[in-house]
């Protein structure tokens, strides 16, 4: 099997036709971590377009109930449920995770620790193949009888367990299989992230010399692995309830629907930190580079990150306060949930402190990284309303929850991705992106983003409940003052989607540049990936792997003339 | 061509071993979730003791013995591999594989008997858990057995001997899961 | 804060609103503080020609204090919020005051049905009044509701009461409320229950004692019988 790529194939990303065999082994069956990263990145971005289209369709229905939505048609109640279910599932499992963990993890980890590939390249390739299979399985669920699953991404039984209730029996089971396959893909991927970061570090790279983004992706992988098991077991049980007549979750036959909720949220809560941590890591790298500053209290950040990870296993039932759990349990989970706000607040303070005394340039990646902090703060503080059991009685299952989690997930999955992509694009493709277009895209995304979700906080405060295809049937929510807010939010979404064209245009023209104008280290950063060529060839450093002589954030050291001191430079 | 990355050992643990422990850890959480669900149900349903009375503790005990013996031969295989004797290691791995086959055959006979008596997976939720837990475990026995054969084939030619230890770690894990299943499904009545 | 958008019409609704306000004030303080400092730093430390960034590790005590003190203060704020939340939760969900009247609330795909005690004042007797999608209660009375589901998970939600409780098939869950003002308001189903989830609204009629008594009288079979046989 041809897996070695000649060093001069740095024009591998051009459109030239190489012989058929080398195309397949270079692009499709590659074991090179950078190519696998690209596969995850583009698959994830394609799924984001699909998930975004779903949001467009159901928001149009909410703003103009009953309309024939251009590009979709009329959104029936069944369509609506399937759209919201799959929008949520896709954005979390098929966009946030593959892009933040698998794409950036695969690209960055070997480069940042200074080795030539992941430890198990073939397992790496297998993980992507299983992931791609999960994508195909999920997409196929939209074309079966009665269409895609419509029981929400949380898939609570008995609705999800019986076809007579959900009316999407086939779609439900196929969705479960797709999710299970995605879990397996990420369990396999985690093997590489953890072993490569632990074992394959450059000589001289001690534990505290590892860049934050590598740490965050590794810890995220560990959190994922430690939390997904019970849900995987639960998915097997639910699949059996759906298809062979077991009754794990069927109360008529001695089962318990609340068991599913516990299994789901025991995973579901750590999962949000699984996606949060890599986004924080990406922002940290960018902020240090463009503020020309050492990360403030790096070690404290690491301990806080671990504390958040551990605590995240103790908060899950705050999703179930009104679900019928023993009321006394609610007190425990309120305490743990409020406790977890402390390490997260500390991490936010550390980011702000890193800016202190800096020399800040607002490049496009820096704008995105700073926006991540500012917007995530809104998501974080609104979570407190939901973690306090007494307040959650009112807010549970309203649009307040929805706005809260979009103010966390959107910064994580969208802002974090754009931050990392615009920052590492020069390294990935050897060419600089257009700064003006980048800034236009930034503002054209951030301003509409806030215009979409602030109205939803208001609607939630007014009692608007979730997963409703039209509010015409609820006199207290049907008034024009509320409908105007819905229309405003939907219009903002349309504007935001339109501005994404600027991003794709920027990617295209930058990628198609004739000259590789990036150079090795356009941002004058310290971490090891910037010592390889842009893009790095197969094997990353053909002239010998680097050693590591210092920490990753030696910016503006007073004893040095240059305001940065790369890790691989001996003196 | 193995990347240089695979050969480094900054954390002091060989990467193959790290990888297997990762796999074992993720499996522990999967089985852990399933078994905790079972235990919670059991506590809430005392009448399950009556259903559990119909599992055959002697067959369960025999299978326990089979697995423990096969773990012993896995240990002996590792010892041989450490001494560089690939042929001996392969032979012990074949014995372990034999144990796996025996386990699966006994289980097949046991389940046939139980199904004939009407204790099917949908009979009640106790039996649903019984077949799911034991079935998931049996799948791991089969998968482990197949991998063991592959490792043995290479070990016979004195190649990749470190893999003998790795499949051994996995096999001990499969054994330990059974050590939990046995009392939960057979002894607690 | 919430009553700006929707009235608070049960005895505990204003407690919940007050808790939300408390959280809003505490959280709002930290939010504004963080954002102000954040944007200030971005402006203050913007790159200027010839000016170099400072080399700050953040590991020394003098600098670390700027992180440790704020996060201890966050802990103190959290304690206030936890105490407030526990008290409200206990009052609403854990400790039910004695019932002056009981109603049965049954959710199913896709309607709410309610069983009110009839003229005899007792539930589960022959003169019970069964309605679909309308719940009639008397203002100022402590009600227990017995919540059930016939099929999947639903959730009984009355926004003006700030009341919400999931309905689980196979279980009867008891909650309580006491209305403080007469009027007619929305009841929602707040847990996705299939394609009819969006039409599963109902209405609650909070009535004065006289209004409620005449409603009960007009509904009972006895009065209907006498209407047919004058």
Q: Is residue B5 one of the residues assigned to a domain?
A: no
- How much is the average pLDDT of C46-64? 91
Task: Look at C67 and A296 and tell me if their CB atoms are within 8 Å.
Answer: yes
Q: What is the rounded CA–CA span in Å between residue A476 and residue A481?
A: 11
ipTM metric: 0.94
C224 pLDDT above the threshold of 60 = no
Q: Residue C106 in contact with residue C149, Cβ under 8 Å?
A: yes
Cα–Cα distances (Å) from A281 to A269, A452, A536, in that order, read 19, 26, 22
Task: Look at A251 and C71 and tell me if their CB atoms are within 8 Å.
Answer: no
Task: Look at A461 and C64 and tell me if their CB atoms are within 8 Å.
Answer: no
Q: What is the rounded CA–CA span in Å between residue A388 and residue A414?
A: 28
Residues of chain C found within 8 Å of residue A385, distances taken between Cβ atoms: 20, 23-24, 27
B26 contacts chain A (CB < 8 A): yes
Per-window interface: C 144-173 vs A, CB < 8 A: 151-153, 155, 157, 159-160, 162-166, 168-171, 173
Residues of chain C found within 8 Å of residue A393, distances taken between Cβ atoms: 16, 88-89, 92-93, 162-164
pLDDT profile of chain B (189 residues), mean per 10: 81 88 94 94 88 91 95 95 92 95 96 93 92 96 95 91 94 96 90
Q: Is residue B166 one of the residues assigned to a domain?
A: yes
Residues of chain A found within 8 Å of residue B21, distances taken between Cβ atoms: none
Mutation target to probe the A interface, by most A beta carbons within 10 A, among B1, B2, B5, B25 is: B5
Under CATH, which number does the domain A31-531 receive?
1.20.210.10
Task: Look at C52 and A359 and tell me if their CB atoms are within 8 Å.
Answer: yes
C196 contacts chain A (CB < 8 A): yes
**Smallest Cα distance from A371 to chain C, Å:** 11
Mutation target to probe the B interface, by most B beta carbons within 10 A, among A119, A219, A259 is: A119
Per-residue pLDDT tens digits of chain A, which is 571 residues long: 333 333 333 333 333 333 344 888 888 899 999 999 999 999 999 999 999 999 999 999 999 999 999 999 999 999 999 999 999 999 999 999 999 999 999 999 999 999 999 999 999 999 999 999 999 999 999 999 999 999 999 999 999 999 999 999 999 999 999 999 999 999 999 999 999 999 999 999 999 999 999 999 999 999 999 999 999 999 999 999 999 999 999 999 889 999 999 999 999 999 999 999 999 999 999 999 999 999 999 999 999 999 999 999 999 999 999 999 999 999 999 999 999 999 999 999 999 999 999 999 999 999 999 999 999 999 999 999 999 999 999 999 999 999 999 999 999 999 999 999 999 999 999 999 999 999 999 999 999 999 999 999 999 999 999 999 999 999 999 999 999 999 999 999 999 999 999 999 999 999 999 999 999 999 999 999 999 999 999 999 999 999 999 999 999 999 999 999 999 999 8
Task: Look at B26 and A228 and tell me if their CB atoms are within 8 Å.
Answer: yes
Q: How many domains does chain B have?
A: 1
Q: What count of residues does chain C have?
A: 230
CA-nearest residue to A192 within chain B is B19
Give the distance between the most distant pair of CA atoms in chain A.
Answer: 75
Other Cβ atoms less than 10 A from the Cβ of A72: the count is 17
Domain containing residue B58: 15-187
CA-nearest residue to B32 within chain A is A230
Q: Residue A526 in contact with residue A566, Cβ under 8 Å?
A: yes
In 3D, which of C139, C157, C146 has the Cα closest to residue C96? C146
CA-nearest residue to A81 within chain C is C195
C70 pLDDT above the threshold of 80 = yes
**Could you tell me which residues are beta bridge partners of residue C129?**
C116
Which one of A117, A244, A545 has the shortest CB-CB distance to B121?
A: A244
B10 contacts chain A (CB < 8 A): yes
Q: Is residue B31 one of the residues assigned to a domain?
A: yes
Task: Look at A187 and B6 and tell me if their CB atoms are within 8 Å.
Answer: no
Q: How many percent of chain C have pLDDT more than 90?
A: 82
Q: Is residue B47 one of the residues assigned to a domain?
A: yes
In 3D, which of A221, A228, A341 has the Cα closest to residue A281? A221
pLDDT at A11: 36
Which chains does B contact via 3+ CB–CB distances below 8 A?
A
The gap from C-alpha A363 to its chain's centroid, in whole angstroms, comes to: 22
The pair phi, psi for residue B26, each rounded to 5°, is -65, -35
The gap from C-alpha B141 to its chain's centroid, in whole angstroms, comes to: 5
Residues of chain C found within 8 Å of residue A391, distances taken between Cβ atoms: 16, 19-20, 23, 85, 88
Task: Look at C190 and A558 and tell me if their CB atoms are within 8 Å.
Answer: no
Q: Residue B79 in contact with residue B155, Cβ under 8 Å?
A: no
CA-nearest residue to A248 within chain B is B125
Which chains does A contact via 3+ CB–CB distances below 8 A?
B, C
**Smallest Cα distance from A378 to chain C, Å:** 7
Mutation target to probe the B interface, by most B beta carbons within 10 A, among A199, A247, A250 is: A199
Per-window interface: A 368-397 vs C, CB < 8 A: 370, 373-374, 377-378, 381-382, 384-385, 388-391, 393-394, 396-397
Inter-chain contacts counted by CB atoms under 8 A, chains A and C: 292
Q: Residue B6 in contact with residue A120, Cβ under 8 Å?
A: yes
Which residues have a Cβ under 8 Å from the Cβ of B75 and sit 6 or more positions away? B168
Task: Look at A557 and C89 and tell me if their CB atoms are within 8 Å.
Answer: no
Which residues have a Cβ under 8 Å from the Cβ of C83 and sit 6 or more positions away? none
C82 contacts chain A (CB < 8 A): yes
Task: Look at A191 and B22 and tell me if their CB atoms are within 8 Å.
Answer: yes
Mutation target to probe the A interface, by most A beta carbons within 10 A, among C60, C67, C88, C151 is: C67
Which one of C52, C86, C164 has the shortest CB-CB distance to A563?
A: C52
Which one of A116, A121, A230 has the shortest CB-CB distance to B29?
A: A230
Q: What is the rounded CA–CA span in Å between residue A435 and residue A207?
A: 35
Task: Look at A359 and C191 and tell me if their CB atoms are within 8 Å.
Answer: no
Residues of chain C found within 8 Å of residue A470, distances taken between Cβ atoms: 198
C87 contacts chain A (CB < 8 A): yes
The residue with tokens 């098929």 is: A94
B45 contacts chain A (CB < 8 A): yes
Q: Is residue B4 one of the residues assigned to a domain?
A: no
pLDDT at A13: 37
Mutation target to probe the A interface, by most A beta carbons within 10 A, among C26, C77, C153 is: C153
Inter-chain contacts counted by CB atoms under 8 A, chains A and B: 137
C228 pLDDT above the threshold of 80 = no
Which one of A297, A352, A467 has the shortest CB-CB distance to C37?
A: A352
* Domain boundaries of chain A, sorted by first residue: 31-531
In 3D, which of B68, B67, B91 has the Cα closest to residue B78? B91
C54 contacts chain A (CB < 8 A): yes
Per-window interface: A 252-271 vs C, CB < 8 A: 252, 257-258
DSSP state of A118: -
Task: Look at A247 and B25 and tell me if their CB atoms are within 8 Å.
Answer: no
DSSP state of A129: H
Q: Residue A517 in contact with residue A432, Cβ under 8 Å?
A: yes
pLDDT at C229: 52
What CATH number has the domain bearing residue B69? 1.20.120.80
**Smallest Cα distance from C207 to chain A, Å:** 18
Q: What is the rounded CA–CA span in Å between residue A314 and residue A121?
A: 35
The secondary structure element, H or E, covering residue B48 is helix B48-52
B43 contacts chain A (CB < 8 A): no
C6 contacts chain A (CB < 8 A): yes
Q: What is the rounded CA–CA span in Å between residue A99 and residue A94?
A: 8
């Amino acid at each position: 099997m041809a897996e070695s790529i000649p060093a001069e194939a740095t024009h591998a990303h051009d459109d030239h036709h190489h012989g058929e065999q080398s195309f397949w082994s270079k692009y499709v069956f590659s074991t090179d971590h950078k190519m696998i990263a690209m596969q995850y990145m583009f698959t994830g971005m394609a799924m984001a377009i699909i998930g975004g289209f779903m949001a467009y369709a159901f928001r149009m229905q909410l703003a103009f109930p009953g309309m024939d939505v251009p590009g979709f048609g009329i959104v029936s109640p069944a369509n609506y449920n399937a759209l919201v279910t799959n929008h949520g599932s896709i954005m979390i499992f098929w966009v946030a995770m593959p892009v933040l963990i698998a794409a950036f993890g695969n690209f960055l980890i070997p480069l940042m620790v200074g080795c030539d590939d992941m430890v198990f390249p073939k397992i790496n390739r297998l993980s992507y193949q299983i992931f791609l299979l999960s994508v195909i399985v999920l997409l196929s669920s939209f074309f079966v009888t009665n269409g895609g699953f419509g029981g929400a991404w949380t898939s609570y039984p008995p609705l999800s367990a019986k076809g007579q209730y959900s009316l999407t029996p086939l779609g439900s089971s196929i969705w479960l299989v797709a999710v299970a396959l995605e879990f397996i893909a990420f369990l396999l991927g985690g093997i590489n992230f953890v072993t490569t970061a632990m074992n394959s570090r450059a000589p001289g790279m001690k534990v505290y010399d590892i860049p934050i983004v590598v740490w965050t992706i590794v810890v995220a992988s560990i959190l994922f692995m430690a939390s997904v098991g019970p849900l995987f077991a639960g998915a097997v049980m639910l699949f059996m309830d759906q298809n062979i007549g077991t009754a794990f979750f069927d109360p008529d036959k001695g089962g318990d629907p609340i068991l599913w909720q516990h299994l789901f949220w025991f995973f579901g809560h750590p999962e949000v930190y699984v996606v949060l941590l890599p986004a924080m890591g990406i922002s940290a790298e960018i902020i240090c580079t463009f503020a020309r500053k050492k990360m403030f209290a790096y070690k404290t950040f690491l301990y806080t990150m671990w504390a958040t990870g551990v605590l995240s296993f103790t908060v899950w039932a705050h999703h179930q306060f009104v679900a019928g759990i023993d009321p006394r349990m609610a007190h425990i989970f309120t305490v743990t949930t409020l406790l977890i706000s402390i390490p997260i607040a500390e991490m936010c303070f550390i980011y702000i402190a890193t800016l202190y005394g800096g020399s800040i340039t607002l490049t496009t990646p820096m704008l995105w990284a700073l926006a991540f902090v500012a917007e995530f703060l809104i998501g974080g503080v609104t979570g407190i309303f939901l973690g306090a059991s007494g307040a959650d009685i009112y807010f549970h299952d309203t649009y307040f929850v929805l706005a809260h989690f979009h103010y966390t997930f959107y910064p994580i999955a969208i802002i974090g991705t754009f931050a990392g992509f615009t920052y590492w694009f020069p390294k990935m493709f050897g060419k600089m992106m257009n700064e003006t277009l980048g800034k236009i895209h930034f503002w054209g995304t951030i301003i509409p983003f806030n215009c979409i979700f602030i109205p939803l906080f208001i609607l939630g405060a007014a009692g608007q409940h979730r997963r409703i295809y039209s509010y015409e049937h609820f006199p207290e929510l049907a008034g024009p003052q509320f409908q105007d807010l819905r229309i405003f939010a939907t219009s903002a979404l349309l504007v935001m989607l339109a501005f994404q064209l600027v991003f794709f245009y920027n990617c295209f023209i930058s990628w198609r540049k004739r000259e590789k104008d990036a150079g090795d280290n356009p941002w004058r950063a310290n971490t090891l990936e910037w010592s390889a060529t842009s893009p790095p060839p197969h094997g990353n450093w053909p002239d010998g792997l680097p050693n590591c002589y210092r920490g990753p954030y030696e910016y503006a050291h007073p004893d040095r003339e240059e305001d940065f001191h790369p890790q691989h430079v001996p003196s | 061509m193995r990347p240089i990355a695979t050969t480094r050992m900054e954390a002091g643990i060989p990467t193959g071993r790290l990888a297997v422990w990762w796999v074992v850890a993720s499996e522990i959480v999967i089985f852990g979730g399933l078994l905790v669900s079972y235990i919670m149900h059991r506590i809430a349903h005392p009448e399950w003791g009556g259903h559990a009375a119909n599992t055959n503790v002697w067959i369960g005990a025999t299978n326990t013995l089979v697995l423990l013996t096969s773990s012993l031969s896995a240990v002996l295989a590792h010892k041989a591999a450490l001494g560089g004797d690939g042929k001996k290691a392969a032979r012990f791995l074949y014995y372990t594989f034999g144990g796996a086959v025996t386990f699966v055959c006994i289980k097949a006979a046991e389940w046939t008997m139980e199904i004939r008596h009407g204790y099917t997976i949908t009979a009640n939720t106790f039996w649903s858990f019984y077949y799911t837990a034991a079935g998931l475990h049996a799948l791991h026995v089969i998968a482990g057995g197949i991998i063991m054969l592959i490792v043995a084939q290479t070990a016979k030619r004195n190649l990749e001997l470190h893999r003998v230890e790795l499949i051994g770690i996995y096999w001990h894990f499969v054994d330990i899961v059974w050590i939990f299943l046995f009392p939960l499904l057979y002894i607690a009545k | 804060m919430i009553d700006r958008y929707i009235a608070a019409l049960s005895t505990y609704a204003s407690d919940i609103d007050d808790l939300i306000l408390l959280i809003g004030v505490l959280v709002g303080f930290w939010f504004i503080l963080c954002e102000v400092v954040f944007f200030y730093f971005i402006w203050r430390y913007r790159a200027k020609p010839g000016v170099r960034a400072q080399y700050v590790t953040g590991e020394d005590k003098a600098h670390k204090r700027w992180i440790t003190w704020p996060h201890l203060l966050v802990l103190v704020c959290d304690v206030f919020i936890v105490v407030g939340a526990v008290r409200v939760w206990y009052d609403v969900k854990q400790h039910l005051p004695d019932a002056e009247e009981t109603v049965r609330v049954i959710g199913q795909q896709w309607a709410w049905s309610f069983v009110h005690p009839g003229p005899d004042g007792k539930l589960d007797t022959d003169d019970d009044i069964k309605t679909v999608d309308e719940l009639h209660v008397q203002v100022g009375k402590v009600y227990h509701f017995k919540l059930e589901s016939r099929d999947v998970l639903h959730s009984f939600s009355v926004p003006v009461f700030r009341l919400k409780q999931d309905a689980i098939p196979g279980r009867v869950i008891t909650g309580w409320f006491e209305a403080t003002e007469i009027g007619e308001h929305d009841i929602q189903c707040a847990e996705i229950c299939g394609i009819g989830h969006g039409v599963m609204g109902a209405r609650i009629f909070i009535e004065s004692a006289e209004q409620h008594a005449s409603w009960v009288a007009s509904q009972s079979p006895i009065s209907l019988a006498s209407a047919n046989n004058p």
